[in-house]
Structure 1
Amino acid sequence: MMTVTSEHPAWPAISAGQKQEFRRDVRRKRLVSHLLVLPLLLFIALLFIGPILVMLSRSVENPELRAGLPTLAHNLSDWSGEGLPNPKIYQALAMDLVNPDLRSERAAAARRLNYEVPGYRTLVIGTARKIGQVQDEIIADPKAALIALDPRWGEMPYWHALRRAVSPTTSYYLLAALDLKVDDSGSVVRVEPEQRIFVDILMRSLWVSVVVTAVCLLVAFPVANYIVVAGPRMRALVLLSILLPFWTSLLVRTSAWIVVLQREGLVNDVLTGLSLVDDPLELIFNRFGVYVAMIHILLPFMVLPLYSVMQGIPSSYMRAAASLGARPLQAFWRVYLPMTLPGIGAGCLLTFILAVGYYITPALVGGAQDQMIGYFIAFFTNTRLNWGMASALSFILLSCILVLYVGLGRYVGIGRLVGIDK
């Protein structure tokens, strides 16, 4: 009977020093590999992740009141929120309103308070303009003097708004992006019906993106399959026609659809010339125009991932399925389609993410009821200079995309769709 030893007789013994040297060599190589990718990680952190985090932090920052009304902000913490504040707080408010060095910061604070209560900006600016005329009354009785200047300083909603806005962080923007607000009692409630717009805008953006992604998939799948089976010349011609739009700016491509789809455009001229319609159709500045333009622009982002996967599928698989008795549709459904799932997953994710944040195309070819969330992010950034609201809408949009991504990964298997898992 053979005896199995723990050590092979031909293997030389390894000393403790050699083991330590081996470990040091492994650590050295690992450190070198980490240092090689460090510039890339720093580039991503500084130019991609960092700006996104800074932008998202704007959705909870609330510095305006502490900068524009600093004395009031310091003293307002002593107020419980029940009944009107004491004269000391009114005196602090008067000191900030009369201070000429705080003029620009006070205007920003007034604009921030106007988000809480419409008309607050005129209240702050108007009181600051007139308060110099009643300085003696302010010294004697600041509470009565301010209420005499404007009775709104004696109303609780305005002071509750001040108390909510004095915190260095706020949930106002994030709640407003969901059509919610904090009332005077501190409860989260829905805003008034005429102000509930952002949830509808978000749902509209998601729905338009889903429709565009689905149509792009239906159109791109046969196109990508044709490119694979076509001859070299035809393959090069079709790929060139798909890549050609990338040589033209997005603005030019979108504007071209306005020319083509307008009432006097090419499509309506053909339809009326063939007597298919009596009057020109409304094909632009509505949802139809948004769909057509976005599908045309985003179609290459669906075709290229599908083509890259399809060209790697051997044609012998379909012939083998046919030789085993499978009908063409059955072979396609059970053999070919599952193997294209990585391309379908990559194309759909790429197309959907690009579509949901689109701004220029819906703004140019869509109507007032067809604008997507990207339009309002740009509006609050460029027109209203409301970085907090723009950041909150961006945060909500990013959260929705992450939720959809995680949902696909949990219930569908995103790794299998994008080709990570076998």
Structure 2
Amino acid sequence: MASTEGVIKEPILAADGTPLKQALRRSQARERRAAFFLVAPLLLFILIVFAVPIASMIWRSVYNPEVRNFLPQTASALQQWDGEDVPPEPVFQAMAADMIVGVENRTIGRAAARINREIPGARSRMMRTARAVDEWSAPYSEKFLEADERWADLEFWRLLKRETRLITPAYYLLALDYEYTAEGEIRPRPEVYQIYKSLFWRTAWMSMLITGICILLAYPISYLMATQPTRIANLLLILVLLPFWTSLLVRTSAWIVLLQQQGVVNELLVALDIIDERGRLRMIYNRTGTIIAMTHILLPFMVLPLYSVMKTIPPSYLRAAKSLGAHPFRAWWRVYFPLTIPGLAAGCILVFILAIGYYITPALVGGDSGIFISNLIAQNMQGSSAQLKLAAALATILLAAVLIIYWVFNKLVGVDKLKFG
């Protein structure tokens, strides 16, 4: 038997003479680079249009530089204050220096307005003092207290110290109807001011109700379309898609015409003697109007996934179940319905996520009782810097809630099982 000792194994070479393993690694690297460059435009688009704005929104909701930028020396001096007694002379001296600069740059009013949101009357006190402080000399603490005894108010100075922190959770607490007090404590806001939490709950349950109504309406429509001949099914599909050919604003405005007290629906009910003139129904500028209009707008998003799944279910399944003795409803429930769950789940997630962030329809037909949290976010977006931060906090909480719902849905149903078309 020949011995293999001393035999040198030659490496397998590619056509160009390089080792095969090395050539294979180079080939795979080229393929990975080519794949990356193919998807790079999409990644860049998602980064610019989606990731960066969301990151900016989250950062804006906790970043609080305004008061610190307008009163920098006061902010620095307050870091050494323990909050237990009236601030020492260096704090008053720093405040006087910041006020002199603030009057020259016309920025003191913005800092005073921010403090005034939580301590009414603080703005007038600060502005009145700022106009006179350039004529004072040390000791400044005595001059401040002589001008207004409220400069000894510990709550004011504690609030000022809190507001000079660059990172603050105050707007998230406010979005959840809690207060971040000047002493740094967290407590529920008075009930009369608790509006955000109730709006979150209203948005959630109305979105679930709209989703449920869409299921009840979409299931028979989708079933009818799936069981009809192709020509009729296509005609019905066109009717389902017809609302997409008109503007969302036009569709919502049409419901105002239909549902108002002098509108088509009430006029028809009066003509049929179902109601009298004094009993006209109020179906607009309330929750009823929001539910009706949003159900109409979101219904196609439930019909299309259901129809796409039902179209693939052979009719012979139901016939086989009935031939084996099953009641028609039992055959439908045990055989047909489970096969439609991927489309039903896809429709539910589409309708619910779209509904929970809807803005135009609740704004036009919702009135005071039918608006969503998105309407309050939009309202705060048009306000001051503090309102912008509150809007960012509300939007971030809404985004987090949607992601949690999506995660739970994925655990219970499985996103990989969904069929959107």
After TM superposition, the score normalised by the length of structure 2 is 0.90
Q: Which amino acid aligns with 1:409?
A: N
Summarize the alignment of residues 411-422 of structure 1 with structure 2, pairs less than 5 Å apart: 412-415=412-415, 417-419=417-419
Gaps of 5+ in 2: 1-9, 14-18
Note the C-alpha offset of 1:344.
1.1
CA RMSD of aligned residues (A): 2.1
Summarize the alignment of residues 97-112 of structure 1 with structure 2, pairs less than 5 Å apart: 97-100=99-102, 103-112=105-114
Mapped to 2, the partners of 1:130 and 1:344 lie a distance apart of: 70
Q: Which amino acid aligns with 1:78?
A: Q
Change (3 A) 1:326 1:30: farther
- 2:397 maps to 396
Mapped to 1, the partners of 2:212 and 2:109 lie a distance apart of: 48
- 1:371 maps to 371
2:91 pairs with 1:89? yes
Moved more, 112-121 or 267-276: 112-121
1:237 paired residue among 211, 235, 260: 235
Note the C-alpha offset of 1:14.
7.6
The superposition leaves residues 118-157 of structure 1 with CA deviations (integer Å, 9 ceiling, x where unpaired) of 333333333323434xx23xx1321121222232221011
- 1:58 maps to 60
Note the C-alpha offset of 1:100.
4.7
2:359 pairs with 1:362? no
Mapped to 1, the partners of 2:195 and 2:299 lie a distance apart of: 30
The alignment partner of 1:284 has SS state of: coil
Note the C-alpha offset of 1:290.
1.0
2:123 paired residue among 121, 142, 145: 121
Contact preservation (8 Å) 2:305, 2:419: no
- 2:330 maps to 330
Change (3 A) 1:198 1:114: same
- 2:266 maps to 268
Mapped to 2, the partners of 1:182 and 1:66 lie a distance apart of: 18
Mapped to 1, the partners of 2:236 and 2:220 lie a distance apart of: 12
Mapped to 1, the partners of 2:102 and 2:315 lie a distance apart of: 79
The superposition leaves residues 68-121 of structure 1 with CA deviations (integer Å, 9 ceiling, x where unpaired) of 111111222111212111111111111111215664543332333234433333
Moved more, 234-243 or 319-328: 319-328
Q: Which amino acid aligns with 1:377?
A: I
Mapped to 2, the partners of 1:34 and 1:154 lie a distance apart of: 63
Contact preservation (8 Å) 2:102, 2:108: no
Change (3 A) 1:318 1:397: same
The alignment partner of 2:61 has SS state of: coil
Note the C-alpha offset of 1:291.
0.8
Note the C-alpha offset of 1:221.
1.2
The superposition leaves residues 287-316 of structure 1 with CA deviations (integer Å, 9 ceiling, x where unpaired) of 111111111111111111212222222223
- 1:9 maps to none
Mapped to 1, the partners of 2:345 and 2:270 lie a distance apart of: 41
Note the C-alpha offset of 1:210.
0.6
Gaps of 5+ in 1: 1-12
Note the C-alpha offset of 1:65.
1.1
1:67 paired residue among 57, 69, 74: 69
Mapped to 2, the partners of 1:145 and 1:316 lie a distance apart of: 93
2:296 pairs with 1:296? yes
Mapped to 2, the partners of 1:311 and 1:125 lie a distance apart of: 71
Note the C-alpha offset of 1:163.
0.9
Contact preservation (8 Å) 1:177, 1:392: yes
Contact preservation (8 Å) 2:318, 2:331: yes
Change (3 A) 1:374 1:177: same
2:12 pairs with 1:15? yes
Mapped to 1, the partners of 2:316 and 2:249 lie a distance apart of: 44
After TM superposition, the score normalised by the length of structure 1 is 0.90
Mapped to 2, the partners of 1:53 and 1:352 lie a distance apart of: 24
The alignment partner of 2:382 has SS state of: helix
Summarize the alignment of residues 196-275 of structure 1 with structure 2, pairs less than 5 Å apart: 196-275=194-273
The alignment partner of 2:62 has SS state of: coil
- 2:4 maps to none
**Would you say how many aligned residue pairs link Structure 1 and Structure 2?**
403
Moved more, 14-23 or 257-266: 14-23
The alignment partner of 1:199 has SS state of: helix
Note the C-alpha offset of 1:378.
0.6
Contact preservation (8 Å) 1:212, 1:295: yes
Mapped to 1, the partners of 2:244 and 2:125 lie a distance apart of: 52
The alignment partner of 2:326 has SS state of: coil
Contact preservation (8 Å) 1:377, 1:394: yes
Contact preservation (8 Å) 2:156, 2:182: no
The alignment partner of 1:181 has SS state of: strand
